[in-house]
Amino acid sequence: MKLNTSAMRYLSNDDFRVLTATEMGSKNHEIVPTVLIAQIAGLRGGAGVGNCISELAKANLIARVKNAKYDGYRLTYGGYDYLAIKAFSNRRSVYSVGNQIGVGKESDIFVVANEKGRKCVLKIHRLGRISFRSVKNNRDYLRNRQSASWMYLSRLAAQKEFSFMKALYENEFAVPEPIDYSRHCIVMSLIPGFPMRQLSSHEDPSTLYSSLMSFIVRLANHGLIHCDFNEFNIMILDEPKSEDEQFVVIDFPQCVSIDHVDAERYFRRDVDCIRRFFEKKLGYVSEDYPEFKRDVKRVASLDIDVQASGFSKKMVKEFEKAISESREKVEDEFDHESFGEENYDDEEQHDDDEVVEEQEDELRSEDDLAGGSGDAEESGLPVV
């Protein structure tokens, strides 16, 4: 999905207030009544609010929900993007937005820059994008899924990824530097390199292989399994720092604790992914590979530390439920050639959003989501 930042330039402060009010109103309303938007925005005079609403709707940042019992609006993907980018801009983490460099399974990746011209990566989580098609054919299934709100799930994914990246970065793992996060978006350093899948040969595959296996074991010794450790999520540096520092690992929202019931299986799967890639692409086979029971010895507990830093058990459980299906799917996706093929279809999403919204109220009142906003300050997570 494209990122439309043009509205940034012409929206007034009042427009922004009204947009924020719509976000806050979605905390406990699937469709936010117009009167409530006006009330939260606290703008004097009804006509003012009306004008703001129509500006925002024209810019596709909010959408009128016509089949509701009352007149109301909901925040769109675009509106949610806008609020996150505006927060980054206020905090000076992002000054300009450049090219889209990736369309992942459940994310959009852009190059951005701060005021000093430092290039970074903006990752926008879009959970629910691919699964919508199957969900549409089975609404009961969706009803059983407590956490089907795209906004909520995407926010949890960003929060989880940022927390893990921060913990790993601080423990000197080769991961991007986490810079900022807001709602469903994170900003991190741009890795000067390319995904390992583009490698068709390597002058010393055994060293690269060993460093990758060491990464998996060291990560597990710190309490974590990546769960999607494949050639798409390993960036090979254009200029390696040393023989042992040739790569950077990205993409953590699906990682699990080594205490997870399926930890051993996930660990083996990550190891097998690397072995298979080396055999298929680089013609390198080694009988030397780590085994969970034999080689993993806990030395630290990043899994527990991260939970303690604001990612509550309940959030983990809800997120787990929602993504366990996608984590299982990883297994069949060794050949990721079809990435990005399932193009996001705006119209379809609108249909499905209506379904999703039916249960949003329940979800939110249960968990008292902080204003629908995932800002670091509000969730107690440190701001970089």
Binding site for Mg ion (CB under 5 A): 104, 232-233, 251
For every residue of 75-92, DSSP letters joined together read: E-HHHHHHHHHHHHHHTT
195 binds ligand ADP (CB under 6 A): yes
- For ligand ADP, which is the closer residue by CB, 22 or 349? 349
| DSSP percent split of the chain into helix, strand, coil, nearest 5 | 50, 15, 35
Closest CA to 12 of 76, 85, 86, 77: 86
Active site residue 228: yes
Pair of tokens at residue 260: 């997870």
Q: Which residue is nearest to ligand ADP (CB)?
A: 104
- What are the start-end ranges of the H helices in 127-262? 132-136, 139-144, 150-170, 205-221
Least distance (Å) from ligand ADP to the CB of residue 211? 19
The one catalytic residue in 15, 108, 228, 375 is 228
Least distance (Å) from ligand ADP to the CB of residue 123? 6
Evaluate whether 106 touches 122 at the Cβ level (below 8 Å).
Answer: no
CA distance 173 to 292: 19
Pick what 33 binds: Mg ion, ligand ADP, none; C-beta below 5 to 8 Å, kind-dependent. Answer: none
Evaluate whether 203 touches 211 at the Cβ level (below 8 Å).
Answer: no
Of the candidate spans 20-28, 56-64, 231-239, 311-319, the one that interacts with ligand ADP by CB under 6 A turns out to be 231-239
Q: Find where tokens 């893990």 sit.
A: 164
233 binds ligand ADP (CB under 6 A): yes
Of the candidate spans 11-19, 227-235, 275-283, 371-379, the one that interacts with ligand ADP by CB under 6 A turns out to be 227-235
178 binds ligand ADP (CB under 6 A): no
Evaluate whether 76 touches 65 at the Cβ level (below 8 Å).
Answer: no
Least distance (Å) from Mg ion to the CB of residue 107? 8
106 binds ligand ADP (CB under 6 A): yes
Pick what 129 binds: Mg ion, ligand ADP, none; C-beta below 5 to 8 Å, kind-dependent. Answer: none
Q: Which residues bind ligand ADP (CB under 6 A)?
A: 101-102, 104-107, 109, 121, 123, 176, 188, 190-191, 195, 232-233, 235, 250-251
